[in-house]
Amino acid sequence: MSVSIDNFLKNIYLLNQETAGAVTSSNLAGRLEVSVAAVTDMARKLGKQGLVDYKPYKALNLTERGNELALKIIRKHRLWELFLHQVLGLDLLSVHQEAERLEHHTSDELMNHISRFLGHPDFDPHGDPIPGIGGDVPSEKGVIPLTEILENQQCIVKKLRYRNSETSDMYDRYGLMTGLVLRVIRVFPFDGSIEVKYEDGSEVVLSGKLASNVFCVRK
Amino acid sequence: MSVSIDNFLKNIYLLNQETAGAVTSSNLAGRLEVSVAAVTDMARKLGKQGLVDYKPYKALNLTERGNELALKIIRKHRLWELFLHQVLGLDLLSVHQEAERLEHHTSDELMNHISRFLGHPDFDPHGDPIPGIGGDVPSEKGVIPLTEILENQQCIVKKLRYRNSETSDMYDRYGLMTGLVLRVIRVFPFDGSIEVKYEDGSEVVLSGKLASNVFCVRK
DNA sequence: TTTTTATTTTAAGGTTGCTTAAACTTGTTA
DNA sequence: TAACAAGTTTAAGCAACCTTAAAATAAAAA
């Protein structure tokens, strides 16, 4: 299984999750940073191999086998992230970049060693679920965007979406991290921004866009 | 830097060390498991890039820059080996196979984290020296083959050469590992085999060939 | 319904790292 | 010294994965 195929399958899966909609060639091409033609080629090829359900001009879907492979890669990615963060102390941004490469070059055996070392964890340091060996994805029941928390309710941050250099800076600026306890003070309908209070008593206003990427459970 | 180039440089370095002689295209081809023609191609290409000193029909040598790169890869390989063995408990054979892939996909930064985590070690679990960030190779002064130890002398095993499924089985069979203390009881000049005594009092005879791959320091 | 626009596919071609087979060097042997 | 054997290089070609540009299709607007 080549790195290209790995990434192709993985990103169909992720794109499907994130947008909850049809995965198009151009979406995927943008995400993989290759031409749309390259996506068509690969889709047809993996269609023949029974990993992707490919019909010309139609949305891309994984077959059951394709899904299994995608989950395997994602398992490796997220276990590496947690390991590098927890054991070696890498920051959340580096952790993603390293995992992005290591995930393709790690045997199932090594990954299981790492999983055992970590106590078979369910979530990575970004709050994303780590698929099990059998492909079962830990449930994120009750995890909702911060924007759905009502005024005066408390919640615990579970997940910060889309970690990249831009969002990472924002998260750091506001001290947002998984496990943080917040109370929603006010919601401003005007622009969707949300005023929250930290446990230490300090208060800040988060933009609606930022808040929609912060996921939490009600307390 | 591609995996192929990494491996090309690394194996010129290692072959040079091991045979202490000229590295030929066919030697290298055998080791890399590619055709001789592929080696010629790559040699010419890396010659142009200033990483290999290439002259047609002559032995292959690394330039200074090529040497630096080779040492960087070897550093990564050996740090991974030690880490996987010491921290995750993988056996010495798996450790090599995993490192063989991970070495090409690990950033310098991650490697430095691992090195720090391990306390900047000097030797990997096979007893091979781990090059430093600056490319300095820890000295193996006083490390000699077991065949050079005289009768009735004691020594400490420092290194078991050529770990593969064949040798590994032998090493396991005789309980040979780095750190082991041995006393040479008798040398049989007939076939070069050597009788040794373990610390627990048990005695075995090692073949001359096996003994020549066991390296140690006098005690 | 026809036309326009956006998206997708096809076609042709490039690069990398490999292959086999033929041609060529080199060094040794007769 | 001529010829041979071993080893090396060159030549031609292949597969994977990508590119750009032209052709085809689908979906939306007129």
Task: Kindly state whether residue B9 falls inside one of the protein's structural domains.
Answer: yes
Query: What integer pLDDT is reported at residue A144 of this predicted model?
Result: 94
Residue B106 touches partner A, C-beta closer than 8 Å: yes
CA-closest candidate to residue A94, choices A83, A104, A105, A109: A83
Among A62, A79, A110, identify where a domain stops: A62
First to last CA, chain A: 43
Residue A106 touches partner B, C-beta closer than 8 Å: yes
Report CB contact under 8 Å: B94, A109.
Answer: yes
Task: Kindly state whether residue A174 falls inside one of the protein's structural domains.
Answer: yes
Task: Kindly state whether residue B138 falls inside one of the protein's structural domains.
Answer: no
Nearest protein residue to nucleotide C10, judged by CA and C1' positions: A37
Task: Kindly state whether residue B100 falls inside one of the protein's structural domains.
Answer: no
B143 touches B217 (CB < 8 A): yes
Task: Kindly state whether residue A118 falls inside one of the protein's structural domains.
Answer: no
Chain A hits for B109, Cβ within 8 Å = 94
Q: State ipTM.
A: 0.85
A 10 A CB-CB count for A36 gives: 14
Give me the amino acid identity at B120. H
Q: Which domain holds residue B155?
A: 144-218
CA-closest candidate to residue A102, choices A79, A135, A69: A79
Query: What integer pLDDT is reported at residue B134 of this predicted model?
Result: 94
Query: What integer pLDDT is reported at residue B165 of this predicted model?
Result: 78
Report CB contact under 8 Å: B105, A110.
Answer: no
B121 touches B82 (CB < 8 A): yes
pLDDT in tens, B175-209: 999 999 999 999 999 999 999 999 999 999 999 99
Report CB contact under 8 Å: A94, B105.
Answer: no
Q: In this structure, what CATH number is given to the domain that contains residue A196?
A: 2.30.30.90
Query: What integer pLDDT is reported at residue B20 of this predicted model?
Result: 73
State the nearest Cα–Cα gap between A84 and chain B, in angstroms: 9
Residue A100 touches partner B, C-beta closer than 8 Å: no
Task: Kindly state whether residue A27 falls inside one of the protein's structural domains.
Answer: yes
Measured to protein CB atoms, the chain C nucleotides within 7 Å are 7-12, 16-21, 25-26
Among A44, A62, A80, identify where a domain stops: A62
Task: Kindly state whether residue B11 falls inside one of the protein's structural domains.
Answer: yes
Considering only CB atoms, B105 lies closest to which of A84, A94, A101, namely: A101
Report CB contact under 8 Å: B117, A88.
Answer: yes
State the nearest Cα–Cα gap between B15 and chain A, in angstroms: 25
Tokens describing residue B158: 């420092």
Q: In this structure, what CATH number is given to the domain that contains residue A15?
A: 1.10.10.10
For residue A169, pLDDT beyond 90: no
- The nearest alpha carbon in chain B to A97 belongs to B107
**Domain total for chain B?**
2
Task: Kindly state whether residue A88 falls inside one of the protein's structural domains.
Answer: no
Kindly indicate the confidence band of residue B169, based on its pLDDT and cuts at 50, 70 and 90. confident
The helix, strand and coil proportions of chain B, stated in percent and rounded to the nearest 5, come to: 45, 20, 35
A99 touches strand D (CB under 7 A): no
Report which of residues B21 and A117 the model is more confident about: A117
Measured to protein CB atoms, the chain D nucleotides within 7 Å are 7-12, 16-21, 25-27
